[in-house]
Structure 1
Amino acid sequence: MKLKTLLMGAVASTAFAPMVLADAHEGERGRDGEVKIIYWQAPSIMNPYLSGGTKDVEAASLILEPLARFDQDGALVPFLAVDIPTVENGGVSEDLKSITWKLKEGLIWSDGSPVTSNDLKFTADYCMHPEGGCAQAAKYDGVKEVEIIDDQTVTVHFTEPKPNPYSALVGGQAPIIQAAQFADCLGAKAPECTEANFNPIGTGPFTVTEFRPNDVITMAANENFREAGKPAFATLTFKGGGDATAAGRAVMETGEYDYAWNMQLAPDVLAKMAEGGKGMPISAFGTLVERIEMNMTDPSPDLPEGERGTVAHPHPILSDFKVRKALSMAIDRELLVEVGYGQAGRATCNLVPAPVLFASENTECLTQDLEGAKALLEEAGWTDSDGDGVRDKDGKKLSLLFQSSTNAVRQDFQALIKDWWNQIGAEVELRNVDASVFFGGDPGSPDTFQKFYADVEMYANNFDGTDPEQYLASYRCGNEPKPSSQWQGENINRFCNEEYDAMLDELSRTGELEKRGELGKKLNEIITKDTMTIVPLVDRGRVSAASNTLGGVVLNTWDSELWNVADWYRKKE
C-alpha cells in the first residue's frame, strides 16, 4: 500500500506572495499577548460533528484536535498520535480491514484529565450513532467498530478492506471529543448539549472562555497544551460576522485584526487593500469549488413541515435532467471567474478539481450555450405558452428560488446567473441569507443550506487531505439531511443513485492508485456531468489575509486553515 505517495502533484502556485514561515522566537507560553482573528461568517457552534459549515469546523480546530491531520502539502502528519500507521510499520493490517492508532504519552485535556483510548472510541460512537445526525458521517463510512486495545491504543475495524483508512478521527473535520463531557449527548440528545457544544474541552492550543454564537469567541492559551512555550499568544479573539470587505480592511488597511479568512473579493479590491501596508493577501489552490446544488426534492412551503424538502416528494421541475442541463449550459463560467476571482479562480466542471489523479477531463460545461439551453427546454416540453417570457409546462411556471449566503461576490454571481436564466425563459427569485445562519446547522432554522428550502443554492466547500473518497461518499443514498437526523447530513441536494453507491463501495475496496483515480473521476462525472445534480462553477483559490507582524502562518488548503495556530507568534521589530 503506497497511500503516502498519493496525489502530490495537484497544488497550484499561489496567486499572491505566500507567507514564509520564519523561526518562532523562543519564550514562555502567552508571551505575545493577544492575537485577533476575523471570520466574516461567524461560528454558530464549536462542535464540527453538528455543523458542516467551514467557519464552525475551523473555529473548533483551535480547541479540538484529531489523531493526525494534513499539512500544507497534503501530507499526513501525526498530532495526537505517535505516528501514522501503515502496512509497512504494522499499523495497518495486511488485509486492510483495520488500522491501529496509538496516542502520544502524557496527553491531557484542557481540564487536566488524561486523554485515553476511551475518548477515541466514544468519538466514533458519537458520530456513528443512528439517531445523531452527524454532519461528518462520511468520515466514518465503512467503520465497523473502534476497539480499545489499552489506555493508549485503539484499532479501527472496517466492514471490508479499506485501502484509504485515514478518515475516521483524522483531519480537522473529525477531531477527538472528550467522552466525559459528551457522555449524555449521544443520538438525538446531541443538539441539546449547549454547554458542551459551545465550550468543548480540548487538547488544542486554546480554550474557550466565552462563546457568543454568531458573534465573538474569546479564548485563552491552554495551560495544559503538550508543547512548552506554545501558543505564543495568551489570548485569542475570534470575531465573526460582517462581510469580506470589512474583514480584509481590518487586517490590511487598519491593522485592527491579525488574520482574516476567506477574502471572497474581486482581485482589484484585494490589491487596493494591500496598499494599506498593514497586511497582505495569501492564496493557494486546493479543492475549494463554488457550485450550484440542484434540489432533487420539493421545498414548497405548501407541504407539511417534516415532509418539505424530503425524498418523499421529488422536485416538480428539477427532477428533469434536461432542465438541470439547460440551466448549466446557460452559465458563462469564464465571466464569473473574471468578475469574482481573477487569478485566484479557474472555471471548472468538476466537484473534485484536484489532485491531478482525481481531476476529470470534464470541460463540456466551459462553453456557454444559451441557444442550446433554450432548445433543450423546448425538447423537454417547457414553452412560453402565454408570451410572458417565462416558460411553462402542464400549467406550471419555470420559476426558481435561488439562494446563497450574503457576500458581494456571491450576489454578483446570483445577478449574472439570474440574467442568463431569464434569457432562456426561467423566472428567478434571488435570496441571500446571513452566512452565520446559512452555514449554522441550527435544526430549528428554515434558512440553513442543509435544510435547503429553495430550488437551487450556491456555496463552496472542500475536503480534508488529498483523497476525495469520503467527500464523494457524502452523496450516498440515505445521507441526506432530514428531520430524523436533525437536518444534518452531507447529501445536500438529496441525490440518490444505485450505480453511484456501488461505485463508492468499489472505490473503498480499491488500493491501486490509478484505479482509485479512475473511479474517483467517474463518480465526479456522475454527479456533475451525467446527472448534473451539482453544477460546478469556479475552482477557487483559498485567499486570506495576514498582518505583516504575524509570524508562523502557513496557509493550508488540505485541512483547517488554522491548523498550525500553535506556531503563530508576533514578529519583533
Structure 2
Amino acid sequence: MKNLKLALIGTVAALGLATSAAQAARGTDGDLKILFWQAVSTMNPYLSGGTKEVYASSMVIEPLARYDEKGELVPMLVTEIPTVANGGVAKDLLSMTWKLKPDVKWADGTPFTADDAIFTWQYCKAPDGGCAQGAYFEGVKSVEAPDPHTVKITFTEPKPYPYSAFVGAQSPIIQKKQFENCVGAKAPGCTAANFGPIGTGPFMVKDFKPNDVITFVANPNYRDPAKPAFATATLKGGGDAASAARAVLETGEYDYAWNMQVEPEVLATMLKAGKGKLERAFGTQVERIDLNWMNPDPKLGDKRATKEGGPHPSLSDPAVRRALSMAIDRQIIVDAGYGESGKATCNIVPAPAAVASTKNDSWCLKQDIEGANKLLDDAGWKKGPDGIRAKNGVKLSFLYQTSTNSVRQATQELVKDMWSQIGVATELRNISASVYFGGDPASPDTFQKFFADIEMLTNNFDGTDPEKYLAGWLCDKMPTPANGWQGENEVRYCNPAYDKKVAELSKTADPAKREALSKELNDMLTEEGAHIPLVHRGSTSSHSLMLEGVKMNAWDSELWNVADWSRKK
C-alpha cells in the first residue's frame, strides 16, 4: 500500500518516465514487431474487459497518470500527481484537481484539453453504454474544467484513495471530437473510432484488422520529439502461446511477445537458442475459475444468465461452490503449467503483501477430496448409478469454458479429474481468445456474457490499491443485455453486505484499516464462492536481446513505456 500511504500524507513526488541514454531519434529504428497470441478485437478498452485490448490501446490512448514498474504513480498528461500536501487533493477528500501539461496534442494536431476528460467520464457513465471499466468512475459526482488545462473531479463522499478515474491503462482519455456521437447505445456501432482511436500516445493506428493485425505509425505530434524510436509498429494477433514464444526466443522473427502462458519446460528449451529473454514480474494477476451465480440455460432466452432468469440450479448452493474449491490441488496446476511463473493462491487480491490475506489458506490451499465429498453428502447431493451427484432432479454436471491455450486446456483436464472424484461431471469447452476476451455484444462466447456454468480466465488491476477492482463485484456491475453485456461482475455475484463494505472502504483513510477491509472483501469473495482462485501468476513475456528499454510492468500495461523502446545498434 505504499502508494496509498504516500498519497494520504501528501508526499507523492511528481515523477517522470525515465529516458534511456541510448534512445534513438524518432522513427530511426524501423518496425517494432509485437506478437499477441490473443488477437485484439477493438482498440477501445471501454468496450472490452480484455487485457489484450487494454494493452494494445495503451500505445495510442493514455490516462492522466499511470503506474511504473515499481507500482509508483507517475504523471503522463499532467504536470504532477495531486496530493493533499501540494493542494491537488482537497483536505476534506471530496475533490481532486489535475493540472494538464499545456503542450499536449492529439495525434490529429488538435489541443488536448480538460473537455476531453469530462467527455470520457460522460461516455463511460452514459445509460446503455456498456462501459467495461465503470468501476473506475465509482463515486465520481462530477468532472469539471475550471480552465482548459485543469480537470476537477468531485466525489459523492470523501475519497481517501482518489487515484481511479483517468489513472492506469484501463481508464484512458478518449477524444471528445472523435467520440461525441458514439455515446450510450451508439458506442459499439462506432467502428471507425473504436478501431482507430485518435490518441496522445507515441503511436497512432494506421490500419486495424480485428482479430488479426494492427499497423501503427509514430505519432508526429507526440510531446517528445525524439520518441518513439520506431517509425512503425506491427501488432500481430492469433496463433498460440508456444508459437508466439518461439517467434521471439528461437527464430527471432518478432521483437516482443506478450503473455508466455507456456509450459515451463518448453520455455526452457526455447531459451537455449539465445535470441531472446523472458521478463517476469509478479503483480496482481490471478488465474481463476468463475462460478456462474445465475442460470445460463439456453431455454431462458433473453433472460439467460441474468437475475431475471433466476439463480443457478446447483451453483447457488454454497456447499457445492465450497466443495468444488476444496477438491482442487492448486500446487499440481502450478507445477504442471506455470513453474516459477506461478504460486498457488486462495486470493483474488494476491498483492501487494499488505493486502494479501491468509484467512482461507487452511481449507483452500491443500486439496481435501474427503472433506469435499462429506460436504456434498451432508448437503443432500447423492451419487447416482452413474457416479454423478444429484439433488431434486438437478445433476452436478457443468459446462466449463476457457480460452484456447495448451496450459489452460491442461488445467481443465486436471480439474475435471479432481472434480470427478467428488461426483461432479464436467464438459470442457475452449474458445478462441480473440472471441472469448473480445467485446462483441452479439457474440454468445464472451467471458462477460458467460453462457456456461463455469469459466476460467486471468484478471488483475492497475496499481497497488484494490478498491476499484473490488468494486467490480458490486451488484450493479453485472453484465446484462441492457448494458451491452459489459461490466466487471461477470459471475453475477450480488451481496448487499459486500456492497456496503466496498462503500466503507471507499470512505476509509487510515492505511491499516484500508488493508483490513481489502482483506475482508477478498475473503468474502473466496468464502462465498464468487470464484475459485487458482494461481497467482507472474506477468511473463519475451523480447529480443536486440530490444532495449523494456521495463516489465505488472501494475499497468506491459507496453506502458513503449515510447522508450529502441533497437540495439
TM superposition score category, shorter chain reference: over 0.9
Shift in Å at residue 268 of structure 1?
1.0
Structure 1 equivalent of residue 418 of structure 2: 420
Residue 145 of structure 2 corresponds to which residue in structure 1? Answer: 148
Matched, 1:229 2:226: yes
Cα gap change, 1:395 to 1:466, in 2 (>3 Å): same
Aligned residue identity for 2:86: N
1: distance between equivalents of 2:478 and 2:153?
25
Q: Which residue of structure 2 aligns with residue 446 of structure 1?
A: 444
Partner of residue 25 from structure 1, selected from 19, 22, 47: 22
Q: Aligned Cα RMSD in Å?
A: 1.3
1:157 equivalent in structure 2: 154
Matching residue of 2:13: none
Q: For each residue in 1:132-190, what CA deviation from the matched residue of structure 2 results, as whole angstroms up to 9, or x when unmatched?
A: 11000000000001011101001000000000100001100000000000000111111
Superposed displacement of residue 399, structure 1: 0.7
* Gap runs ≥5 in structure 1: 8-20
Change (3 A) 1:284 1:89: same
**Match of residue 479 from structure 2:** 481
Please give the alpha-carbon distance, in whole angstroms, between the structure 2 residues aligned to 1:250 and 1:2. 38
Measure the CA separation in 2 of the matches of 1:123 and 1:487.
Answer: 20
Alpha-carbon distance between aligned partners in 2 of 1:558 and 1:27, rounded to the nearest angstrom: 27
Asked if structure 1 preserves the Cα contact closer than 8 Å seen for 2:20 and 2:564, the reply is: no
- 2:226, 2:145 → 1: CA distance? 32
Q: Structure 2: how far apart are the matches of 1:394 and 1:323?
A: 14
Equivalent residues in 2 for 1:198-217, closer than 5 Å: 198-217=195-214
The 5 A counterparts of 1:364-513 are 364-385=363-384, 387-513=385-511
Decide whether the 8 Å contact of 2:88 with 2:98 is kept in 1: yes
- Confirm or deny: 8 A CA contact 1:64 1:203 kept in the other structure: yes
Q: Is 1:60 matched up with 2:57?
A: yes
- Shift in Å, 1:3: 4.5
Partner of 1:532: 529
- Uncovered stretches (5+) of structure 2, i.e. residues with no partner: 8-17
Which residue in 2 is equivalent to 1:10?
A: none
Three-state SS of the structure 1 residue aligned to 2:383 is coil
Deviation of the 1:310 alpha carbon: 0.1
1:308 to 304, 310, 314: 304
Q: 1:53 to 1:6 in 2, by over 3 A?
A: farther
* Shift, 1:537, TM fit: 0.2
Given the alignment, which residue of 237, 240, 259 partners 1:240?
Answer: 237
SS at match of 1:108: coil
Contact 2:27 2:227 in 1 (8 A): yes
Q: 1:142 touches 1:159 (CA, 8 Å); kept in 2?
A: yes
Which of 77, 101, 117 pairs up with 2:74?
A: 77
Assess, with a 3 A threshold, how the Cα gap between structure 1 residues 282 and 426 changes in structure 2: closer, same or farther.
same
Tell me if structure 2 keeps the 8 A contact 1:3–1:164: no
CA distance in 2 between counterparts of 1:64 and 1:3 reads 24
1:57 Cα deviation from its structure 2 partner: 0.5
Q: Is the 8 A contact 1:6 1:467 kept in 2?
A: no
* Structure 1 residue 277: Cα displacement: 1.2
Shift of 1:279: 0.4
Secondary structure of residue in 2 paired with 1:474: helix
Cα drift, residue 5 of structure 1: 3.8
Residue identity matched to 1:233: F
* CA–CA distance in structure 1, aligned partners of residues 466 and 366 of structure 2: 26
Letter in 1 for 2:335: E
Q: Which 10-residue stretch deviates more, 390-399 or 69-78? A: 390-399
- 1:25 shift after superposition: 2.5
1: CA distance, partners of 2:148 / 2:6: 32
Q: Which amino acid aligns with 1:420?
A: M
8 Å CA contact retained: 2:3, 2:464: no
Measured after TM superposition, the shift of residue 224 of structure 1 is 0.4
Q: Distance in 2 between matches of 1:175 and 1:393?
A: 48
Which residue among 36, 42, 46 is the counterpart of 1:39? Answer: 36
Cα distance in 1 for partners of 2:451, 2:235 equals 30
Letter in 1 for 2:495: N
Deviation by residue 1:59-80 (Cα, 9 ceiling, x = unmatched): 0000000000000000000000
- Alignment partners' CA distance in 2, 1:343 and 1:105: 45
Change (3 A) 1:73 1:3: closer
**Corresponding residue for residue 12 of structure 2:** none
Pick one of 333, 357, 360 that aligns with 2:330: 333
CA offsets 1:289-330 (integer angstroms, 9 cap, x no match): 0000110000011111x2000012110010000000000010
- Cα deviation code 1:32-84 (max 9, x no counterpart): 01110001000000000000000000000000000000000000000001110
Q: Distance in 2 between matches of 1:516 and 1:297?
A: 31
Aligned-pair distance for 1:384?
1.7
Separation of aligned partners in 2, 1:135 and 1:316: 28
Contact map agreement 1:24 1:569 (CA 8 A) in 2: no
Structure 1 Cα separation of the partners of residues 230 and 468 of structure 2: 35
| Secondary structure of the corresponding residue to residue 180 of structure 1 | helix
Secondary structure at 1:189 match in 2: helix
Q: CA deviation at 1:266?
A: 1.4
User: Are 1:293 and 2:294 matched, yes or no?
Assistant: no
Instruction: State whether residues 23 and 566 of structure 2, in contact with CA within 8 Å, keep that contact through their aligned partners in structure 1.
Output: no
Separation in 1, partners of 2:4, 2:562: 25
Per the alignment, residue 278 of structure 1 pairs with 275
Matches of 2:103 and 2:235 in 1, distance apart?
A: 29
Following superposition, the deviation at residue 22 of structure 1 comes to: 8.9
Which string of whole-angstrom CA distances, capped at 9 and with x for unpartnered residues, describes residues 205-240 of structure 1?
000000000000000000000002100000000000
Asked whether the 8 Å contact 1:58–1:561 carries over to 2, the reply is yes
- Shift in Å at residue 24 of structure 1? 4.0
Counterparts of 1:341 and 1:217 in 2: how far apart (Å)?
A: 29
Task: Give, in angstroms, the shift of residue 26 of structure 1.
Answer: 4.5
Q: What SS class does the counterpart of residue 535 from structure 1 fall into?
A: strand
Amino acid at match of 2:307: V
Counterparts in 2 of 1:399 and 1:341: CA distance versus 1, 3 Å: same
Q: 1:553 aligns with which of 550, 554, 566?
A: 550
Secondary structure of the 2:163 match is coil
Query: CA separation in 2, counterparts of 1:278 and 1:426?
Result: 46
* Gap change, CA 1:2 and 1:403, over 3 Å in 2: closer
Alignment partners' CA distance in 1, 2:24 and 2:428:
53
Q: What residue is the counterpart of 2:174 in the other structure?
A: 177
Alpha-carbon distance between aligned partners in 1 of 2:19 and 2:151, rounded to the nearest angstrom:
36
Cα contact 2:61–2:172 (8 A) shared by 1: yes
Structure 2: distance between partners of 1:214 and 1:6 = 41
User: Partner amino acid for 1:311?
Assistant: K
Alignment-derived partner of residue 18 in structure 1: none
- Kindly indicate whether the alpha-carbon contact (under 8 Å) linking 1:217 and 1:237 is maintained by their aligned counterparts in 2: yes
* 4+ long deviations beyond 4 Å: 1-4
2:61 is paired with a residue whose SS is: coil
Instruction: Show the 5 A alignment for 1:101-140.
Output: 101-140=98-137
CA shift in 2, pair 1:338/1:509, >3 Å: same
